[in-house]
Amino acid sequence: MTGALARVPGRTLVALVTAQICLHAAMAGLRLALPLMLLRQGATPWWSAEAVAGVTLGLFALAPVVLALPAGRWVDRRGYHRPVHASVAMVLLAGLLALPSVWLQGGWQLLWLVPAATLAGTGCNVGLIAMQRTAGQLVQRAAQAADDADPAELRRVFSWLGLAPALSNVIGPVLVGLLIDAQGFALAYGVMAVLPLLTLVWSGRIPREQRPVWSPSQAAALAAERHSPLGLLRLPGMASLLALNWFFSSSWDLHAFLVPLLGHERGLSASAIGSVLGLFAFAVSAVRVLIPLVARRWSERQVLTGSSLVVAACFIVYPWAQTAPTMAACALVLGLALGAVQPMIMTTLHH
């Protein structure tokens, strides 16, 4: 088979990406609905509405940060399907837990929303880890079958993977915004609880792996990493790469909080707020289609530097965006800047 192209089957990639979209869209919808509901209900006896909404939104990321390494090891041991099934259960439960909070107030409401936000963020993150690991395994198997590693195939696969969170952040917020304006928060939470079930349908189309595809050097590296997780930081360039990833990921999450906050302050409807977030995610998806062209014209350093400057400029301008169209324009530019760098970072991390 020497000389054959190392290609991952397109239908497998479609199933992998679509399964993650269904899971991620539910989390993205809940991430908009929960803080927006708290903002609309106003201050509590202890905190302002903005503080409560910010803390709730932060819970979507807190557990994934703490559990990232254990989740990665679990996915290494169990493969794709069992972790994804657990992810579906967590996100589904998050939607069900959020549902009673519609009829509660104050501390009783937070008693349901805190675990809902934590479960949604954790479940989506575990699913994302499983998807990225499985994609890398698929590329490795294709290279082994063709007896020829193809660097272009890795870029193609990670470009596909980049569509999952981008499209999810279009579908989830836009759908939730429309549902809230049409029938209220209860229906929105119910739909977000059902949406992850579609992940089970698509994940069934992904081949089950019999055993992890590790070389002896990879197995030794994994064993060493289990004893010293911080040893990853000693790899050349890893600390800088993680710092860059932190900056861009934090900017993404900051935008997810600022849009509901500013939109509520300016009296925008839920569908308008969801559309702004959806336009941001659409820009992320669009720019990733152009990544091969960008990579030929500019170096990685130029792209990262330019994106950093554009992101900073957008956050400076955002507070003066008083209407939905001006906020949408800021979201569009910000999405183009953030979307251009993430697949490059993921490809470098995989290598």
Query: Whose structure tokens read 């979507």?
Result: 60
CA distance 285 to 289: 7
**Tokens coding 33:** 């609905």
Q: Please, which contacts does 297-303 make with residues 24 or more away whose CB atoms are closer than 8 Å?
A: 300/344, 303/340, 303/341, 303/344
CA distance 269 to 257: 16
Taking the CA atoms of the chain, what radius of gyration do you get in angstroms?
Answer: 20
The residue-averaged pLDDT of 331-338 equals 88
pLDDT 10s digits, 190-211: 999 999 999 999 988 887 766 5
pTM value is 0.75
pLDDT 10s digits, 207-231: 776 655 555 566 556 555 555 556 6
Give yes or no for a contact between 346 and 309, defined as CB atoms under 8 angstroms apart. Answer: no
Per-residue model confidence (pLDDT) at position 21: 92
The residue-averaged pLDDT of 221-247 equals 69
Cα angle value 259/263/265 (rounded, 5°): 125
Distances from the Cα of 144 to the Cα of 10, 78, 155, 222, 239, angstroms: 18, 22, 17, 21, 30
Per-residue model confidence (pLDDT) at position 4: 45
**184 against 165, higher pLDDT:** 184
Selection from 65, 61, 126, 59 nearest residue 91 by Cα: 126
pLDDT higher than threshold 60 for residue 239: yes
**Tokens coding 188:** 């929105």
CA distance 176 to 187: 9
Distance, CA of 112 to chain centre = 23
pLDDT band at 5 (very low <50, low <70, confident <90, very high): very low
